[in-house]
């Protein structure tokens, strides 16, 4: 789908501007071609990430439909869950996150730190 076709869908601007491309000289030298990385880690909400790109459209549609709660599901350490919770908090919406433990670990560090810890603050 050409990019201009996206304008027909409701959208909220969470990212604000294009994220930078960063040249990776050592990897480029190693592979013998120019290699760049898209720096979506510098997006402005919840420690960054590319999940905001789809949330711009999904949340706009939810608001258009009158939603007051965002419901999402993912692994305990899910980046998508973290960013959905942050977007909900930013917009004054409720958020219900259904978390799963796909690797079946009982390690306290996995169950309570990282994205799980951060999502709990939001």
Handedness of CA 11, 122, 114, 18 (dihedral sign): positive
Name the active-site residue from 77, 78, 83, 119.
78
The whole-angstrom separation of Cα 2 and Cα 30 is: 34
* Angle value at C-alpha 58, between 50 and 73, nearest 5 degrees: 75
Residue with tokens 């949330």: 55
- Which has the closest alpha carbon to 51: 78, 26, 33, 76? 78
User: Is residue 78 annotated as a catalytic residue, yes or no?
Assistant: yes
Reduce the DSSP state of residue 92 to 3 states and report it: coil
Q: Which residues are part of the catalytic machinery? A: 78
């Amino acid at each position: 789908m050409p990019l201009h076709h996206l304008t027909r869908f409701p959208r909220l601007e969470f990212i604000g501007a294009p994220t930078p491309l960063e040249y990776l000289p050592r990897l480029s030298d190693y592979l013998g071609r120019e290699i760049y990385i898209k720096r979506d880690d510098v997006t402005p909400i919840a420690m960054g990430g590319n999940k905001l790109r789809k949330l711009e459209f999904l949340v706009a549609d939810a608001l258009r439909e009158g939603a007051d709660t965002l419901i999402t599901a993912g692994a305990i350490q899910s980046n998508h869950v973290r960013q959905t919770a942050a977007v909900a908090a930013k917009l004054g919406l409720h958020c219900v996150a259904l978390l799963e433990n796909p690797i079946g670990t009982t390690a306290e560090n996995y169950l309570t730190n990282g994205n799980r810890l951060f999502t709990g603050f939001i």
